């Protein structure tokens, strides 16, 4: 549909106002849909606590771990509070 057709159907004679409405509508449509979702798989390494995430990542939707017993992925629930971390003070 062309801008002229929208102006005729809505009865608005100002092109700038119609373009503003169209831009607002496009912004609402874009913000109501999720961003492009990518999947990133990494192997878990024993003793490793930090993993590199993609640089273009905006938000993290979920984390899952593959269960070796049945081969299915299990979601890891979000923590409600920060984890309790204690330092090992025993001599090596």
Q: pLDDT tens for residues 1-56? A: 889 998 999 999 999 999 999 999 988 888 887 667 788 888 888 888 888 888 88
pTM score above 0.75: no
Which is more confident, 83 or 26? 26
Please provide residue 75's backbone torsions phi and psi, each rounded to the nearest 5 degrees.
-75, 145
> What pLDDT is stored for residue 18 in this prediction?
93
Which is more confident, 10 or 78? 10
The answer to whether 26 touches 14, Cβ cutoff 8 Å, is no
Domain ranges of the chain: 3-32
> What pLDDT is stored for residue 90 in this prediction?
64
List residues bridging with 73 in a β-sheet: 66
- Examine the pLDDT at 89 and tell me if it is beyond 70: no
């Amino acid at each position: 549909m062309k801008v002229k057709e929208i102006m005729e159907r809505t009865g608005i004679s100002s092109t700038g106002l119609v373009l503003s409405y169209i831009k607002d509508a496009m912004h609402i449509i874009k913000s109501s849909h999720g961003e492009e979702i990518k999947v990133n798989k990494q192997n878990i390494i024993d003793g490793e606590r930090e993993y590199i995430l993609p640089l273009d990542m905006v938000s993290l939707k979920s984390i899952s771990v593959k269960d070796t017993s049945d081969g299915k992925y299990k979601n890891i629930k979000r923590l409600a509070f920060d984890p309790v971390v204690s330092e090992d003070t025993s001599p090596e």
